[in-house]
Structure 1
Amino acid sequence: MNNFTYFNPTRIHFGQGQIAKLTEELPAEAKVLITYGGGSIKKNGVLKQVHAALAGRHYVEFGGIEANPHFETLMQAVEVVKAESIDYILAVGGGSVIDGSKFIAAAARYEGDAWEILQTYGSKIRDAVPLGTVLTLAATGSEMNNGAVITKAETQDKLFFFSPFVQPRFSILDPETTYTLPARQIANGVVDAYVHTLEQYTTYPVQAKVQDRFAEGLLRTLIEEGPAALANPQDYDVRANLMWTATMALNGTLSTGVPTDWATHMIGHELTGLYGLDHAQTLAIVQTAVWKHKLAAKQAKLAQYAERVFDVHDGSEADKAQAAIARTEDFFTAMGNPVRLSAYGLGDEVIDAVAAKLTAHGHTALGEHADITPDDVKQILRLAL
């Protein structure tokens, strides 16, 4: 196991009725900006619960944050923060709303061009407006980490940043807020959490038994509960397990002491930025293509994954690695996320375009060994056609 330092300061309130905890978490004198997306929280009663918890408080609202939140939209919210002297942000939504709110929090107190936050991956952030979240979609883990991904629609650039200044002070996770999600968002959330786990697991062995077993448990839970959530969206226990699994998949626990990959995410970000695919759709397309291209380097962990997650015990290590790839593709497909670019009407035209964007963004050495070059990315994308 590799050396590591671990710290996560986000306080979690999990379960039914926990939105009422906002009364305790938000300072009574705070001027709060409530951020949200397309307005589903108005229809499903979540915003009503938030209003009830904030009765008598000073708050304003900013809606319309997109999936893959746009820099241009978020800068409008930054102006609201400044004009209204906001001193606390409450993100009510899924990962896109929370990611966007992290950017708003940082940009509102950033001196200079806010686009630099993305260009420097958050390294120049020195302050941010305090942030809390009410999670309504289990997927990204943004409710318990300090990362965010933002898209500049004008230039089709999708970039990420990290900063301890935007770590949520608290997050409220009530599984009932996810009951009314459409099947596509349920499936995307499951695939997103699954690939988050894989990116920290299917690398190479370092004898990190705790992290491996933890990752394997999360993967098995997603395999069990993902289809169950599609079949019965209002099963509380299913939704609770999915919500907590997605949070644990990217709150920093799995990555302690182990090598991590993230090539799938970097390639996927460019596909979303250029062609507008859902984030999880790109992950389902790219993940197994990366494995196929780097099979020799990943064979040992893929075989372990096949044994411990899919109960594949027959055959050689190479046979098990191939079985892991096939079973993963079957799972993604069963969740409604195809594993080929052609399923979305995309072909050879993406290959050079994605490689060029990665180069422009400085991502020329991807993967746990930093040996996936833009030319390798082209080969990976050919495998995903």
Structure 2
Amino acid sequence: MNNFVFYSPTEFVFGKDTEMQVGALAGKYGARKVMIVYGGGSVLRSGLLDRVKQSLQKAGIRYCEMGGVQPNPVDTKVYEGIEICRREQADLLLPVGGGSVIDTAKAIAAGVPYEGDFWDFFIGKAKVTEALKVAVVLTIPAAGSEGSGNSVITKVDTLQKLSLRVPELLRPVFSIMNPELTYTLPPFQTACGIADMMVHIMERYFTNTQDVEISDCLCEGTLTAIIKEAYRIKQNPGDYGARANIMWCGTIAHNGTCGVGCEEDWASHFLEHEVSAIYNVTHGAGLSVIVPAWMTFMAGHNPKKIARFANRVFGVPESEDLEEMALAGVSRLKHFFRFIGLPVNFKELGIENPDIDRLADSLHRNKGEFVGNYVKLTKQDSKEIYRLAL
């Protein structure tokens, strides 16, 4: 096990009707004026946005707002939000929604006190040294942004989709999580969220670090719980217990708990970021295509942990042929993804002829000569994985 620092100060307020506590919690964390960030559609139709505003008003906290955040959040909305936040002198960002809204709010929070271009943080030109506070009302269990210090933004001009990780400053101070808010999610969106949280765990699980049994078991247990609850939701979308477990799994998957002491990989996410940046597909659906291809590649290059995953998560019998075990696990993972309504190849994703050279060139231009850690991928390796996803 490697040395590690684990810092996770978020206060999670979980359960039915918890969105009514947003005003009191914002006051607890010293907010004088809140900037609400949201997408549109469901938070308006469901009345959630109105309930959040009423709670803030009741607590005597002023607010401003910015709507219209889209999936695969973009830099133009961040610039707009920074301008509004500065003008209104807001001191706490309150995203109401899923990962795209939360990631946008985090980028705004980092950008407001910075004199330069917030994109400097994403390209490594500058480091975040201060940020406004962020709090969350979660409606989509998927990205785990409600418990992480991470943000992913796409730059429109260059189609660069890059991530930022600043756990000490960008973790939300509190996150409100009401599983009932997820009842009306379309089945495809629920499935994409399930894929995203599963891969967040896999990025930590597929490691060469030795003596991380507790992290391995946490990963395996959480993955099996996600699969079990996904079947329950498929049968009954209004099952509160299943929705609650899935929502909490999404948080555990990405708040760092599952990866302590491990060298993490993240190649699958980086491979997928190029796909969703260029072709604007849903991130979770892109992952359900890329991850089985990545695992298939790894079965022939470093099968040990893939084989353990196959055995511990999907019940593949142990065998001396680790590659065979690994490939059987990939087959069962693809079957599960298809069962919950996700694609497992580019054609099913709606991309008939992906430009593999462009994808690989962009990936390695953004991330360098080698990508990932489980096996460090060259550009030729990345092209092979994209081909395996055809």
Smaller-chain TM-score range? over 0.9
1:159 and 2:159 correspond: no
| CA shift for structure 1 position 296 | 4.1
Tell me what 1:3 maps to.
3
Tell me what 2:54 maps to.
52
| CA shift for structure 1 position 83 | 0.9
User: 1:117-163 deviations in whole A, cap 9, x for unaligned?
Assistant: 22118x52121111100110000111111001001123211111122
Q: Which of 100, 110, 131 matches 1:128? A: 131
Tell me what 1:358 maps to.
363
Given that 1:98 and 1:143 are in contact with CA atoms closer than 8 Å, whether structure 2 keeps it comes out as: yes
- Aligned-partner Cα distance in 2 for 1:48–1:24: 16
5 Å-filtered alignment, 1:154-193, equals: 154-163=157-166, 164-193=168-197
Structure 1 counterpart SS, 2:129: coil
Structure 1 counterpart SS, 2:39: coil
User: 1:257-298 deviations in whole A, cap 9, x for unaligned?
Assistant: 123211110010010000111101111111121122222443
Letter in 1 for 2:49: L
User: Given the superposition, is the C-alpha separation of residues 96 and 104 from structure 1 closer, same or farther in structure 2, using an over 3 Å criterion?
Assistant: same
5 Å-filtered alignment, 1:42-191, equals: 42-55=44-57, 56-120=60-124, 123-163=126-166, 164-191=168-195
User: 1:40-91 deviations in whole A, cap 9, x for unaligned?
Assistant: 1111232132122112321111100111111112211111101111111111
- Aligned-partner Cα distance in 2 for 1:204–1:332: 26
User: 1:219-238 deviations in whole A, cap 9, x for unaligned?
Assistant: 11111111322332211101
Letter in 1 for 2:388: L
Tell me what 1:378 maps to.
383
- Aligned-partner Cα distance in 2 for 1:126–1:57: 27
Query: Number of paired residues?
Result: 384
- Aligned-partner Cα distance in 2 for 1:100–1:366: 25
Letter in 2 for 1:100: T
- Aligned-partner Cα distance in 2 for 1:290–1:137: 26
Letter in 2 for 1:147: N
Q: Which runs of 5+ in 2 are unaligned?
A: none
- Aligned-partner Cα distance in 2 for 1:339–1:95: 22
- Aligned-partner Cα distance in 2 for 1:93–1:208: 34
Structure 1 counterpart SS, 2:328: helix
5 Å-filtered alignment, 1:301-316, equals: 301-316=305-320
Sequence identity percentage? 38
Structure 2 counterpart SS, 1:339: coil
TM-score (norm 2): 0.94
The alignment yields a C-alpha RMSD, in angstroms, of 1.7
Letter in 2 for 1:338: P
Q: Which runs of 5+ in 1 are unaligned?
A: none
- Aligned-partner Cα distance in 2 for 1:307–1:205: 19
User: Given the superposition, is the C-alpha separation of residues 85 and 135 from structure 1 closer, same or farther in structure 2, using an over 3 Å criterion?
Assistant: same
User: Given the superposition, is the C-alpha separation of residues 210 and 369 from structure 1 closer, same or farther in structure 2, using an over 3 Å criterion?
Assistant: closer
Letter in 1 for 2:6: Y
| CA shift for structure 1 position 367 | 1.8
Q: Which of 195, 204, 207 matches 1:200? A: 204
TM-score (norm 1): 0.95
